[in-house]
């Protein structure tokens, strides 16, 4: 599952070069087998000389010796000229693991951004959502959203 999501993100980035205008795309997947479940979403956006991508993956397993949860997330941004910013925060408490990744690239009025929020509840509920947007001046922003629950 993790490989298919990462390959999908790489494909979105490869299909979104700056010369093709603005574009945004997201993908998601969820799988369950026995006492194990995984979820993941990813997205990429590109406009002008900017691009931004994020990905989030979560897993939960229930076994005879107890429960196990894991989470991973990340993002990146790039711009020919201008500003870029990306970051990931992971939070854990008694109820869940949560990871939030954001990536933004801006060059004047042209920008690309992507955000992914993934949650793994300790009771086994999984969710992940990604939103990616790109904009060039004079046009309507391109946007894509995916939510897996």
Give me 148's structure tokens.
């897996």
| Domain count for the chain | 1
pLDDT, one tens digit per residue, over 76-103 is 999 999 999 999 999 999 999 999 999 9
Q: How far is CA 2 from CA 6, 39, 41, 122, in A?
A: 6, 9, 10, 20
Average pLDDT, the chain: 88
The SS3 call for residue 9 is helix
pLDDT of residue 20: 53
pLDDT of residue 16: 41
Q: Which residues, other chains included, contact 146 with Cβ-Cβ below 8 Å and sequence gap of 6+?
A: 26, 27, 28, 41, 43, 129, 130
Helix (H) or strand (E) holding 10: helix 2-14
Q: Rounded to whole angstroms, how far apart are CA atoms 45 and 59? A: 26
What is the span of the domain harbouring residue 130?
A: 2-148
At 71, is the pLDDT very low, low, confident or very high (cuts 50, 70, 90)? Answer: very high
At 64, is the pLDDT very low, low, confident or very high (cuts 50, 70, 90)? Answer: confident
Please say whether the beta carbons of 21 and 140 come within 8 A: no
The reported pTM is 0.85
């Amino acid at each position: 599952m993790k490989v298919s999501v990462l390959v999908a993100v790489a494909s979105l980035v490869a299909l979104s070069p700056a010369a093709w205008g603005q574009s945004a795309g997201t993908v998601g997947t969820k799988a369950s087998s026995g006492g194990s479940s995984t979820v993941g979403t990813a997205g990429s956006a590109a406009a002008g000389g900017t691009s931004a991508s994020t990905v989030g993956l979560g897993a939960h397993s229930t076994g005879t010796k107890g429960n196990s949860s894991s989470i991973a997330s990340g993002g990146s941004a790039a711009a020919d000229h201008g500003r870029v910013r990306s970051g990931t925060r992971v939070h854990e408490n008694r109820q869940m693991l949560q990871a939030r990744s954001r990536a933004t690239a801006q060059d004047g009025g042209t920008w690309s951004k992507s955000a992914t929020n993934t949650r793994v509840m300790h009771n086994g509920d999984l969710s992940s959502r990604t939103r990616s947007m790109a904009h060039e001046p004079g046009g309507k922003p391109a946007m894509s959203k995916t939510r897996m629950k």
